[in-house]
Amino acid sequence: MDAPRKKYIIGNWKMNFTPGEASLYLNKLSTRIQPTRKVQVVLAPSIVSLQSLSLQVNRRQFKLATQNFYWRDYGAFTGEVALTQLRGFVGYAIIGHSERRYLFNETEKDIAQKVAAAIRNGITPVLCIGETALERKDGETSAAIYSQLTSGLHEVSKEDIDKVIIAYEPVWAISSNKNAKPATPIDIVEAEHFIRKHIAKLYGKEASEAISILYGGSVNKNTAAGYLEIEGIDGLLIGGASLIADQFCAIVEIAKGVKDERQY
């Protein structure tokens, strides 16, 4: 019998923790989270902490992700960091996060090129997509998700689609948004079905069923179980709660206990 689908718990630390603080926090997590094949725990520290944490981390316990990078592999790009420089440090890359889209004006072309760069460098892209509050209010949720999904995957071949993770992250539900409100299971199920339907159109039914889809937006230990129990949701992308050891460890334990009858 095939193994159950793996759950992903990704902690996005954003612009928090000095390298020293990050090291202490990783040590705290390492004493409380035991490795398991069922749940892949991924930590995304600030880029200045990646090298030191890569030497400290137990890779059976945690994988590391970069929050950002430039899609070129080398060149005269002052201040930027390429994935060629991060190979060996990270196994995952967060791409298309709403803060990169709306605060730093990353374009759909930028995001597509980043996804392609991750794949050619052997790093798993976590492509974030999701509508804003205004798009939702105007009935444009499907159009926004479709545009971000198809443009983000524009350079991904049928042979490489299994190397991509999708994170549905409605902007209106992110806790850093002062008007945030949690998404309901119905909201998430509708988005998950929509994403899989269009993956099927682009890459086939098998790819649609196999691709991992995560949810992100105001996730904490009180809401995590409800999200993880939604059929078709394969894990969580966590912001604020990933900075609090009690919260993050509790979410990982919840993920370990969630039953998933679906198979690869």
| Both structure tokens of 245 | 């050891």
Q: Which amino acid is at 202?
A: L
Is 193 a catalytic site residue? no
Phi and psi torsions of 102, nearest 5°: -100, -25
From 228, 226, 224, 214, select the one nearest 248 (Cα to Cα).
Answer: 224
In order, the DSSP letters of 51-70 are HHHHHH--TTT-EEEES--B
Residue 253 CB burial class (10 angstroms; 0-12, 13-18, ≥19): middle
The vertex-23 CA angle with 20 and 29, nearest 5°, equals 145
Catalytic residue among 106, 131, 169, 192: 169
Catalytic residue among 97, 106, 135, 192: 97
CB 159 within 8 A of CB 198: no
Cα(177)–Cα(182) distance, rounded to whole angstroms? Answer: 11
| Both structure tokens of 147 | 């545009």
Is 106 a catalytic site residue? no
- C-alpha distances (whole Å) from 200 to each of 5, 12, 144, 196, 205 are 19, 29, 18, 6, 5
CB 197 within 8 A of CB 229: no
In order, the DSSP letters of 123-185 are -EEEEEE---HHHHHTT-HHHHHHHHHHHHTTT--TTTGGG-EEEE--GGG-TTSTT--PPPH
Q: Which residues are catalytic?
A: 97, 169
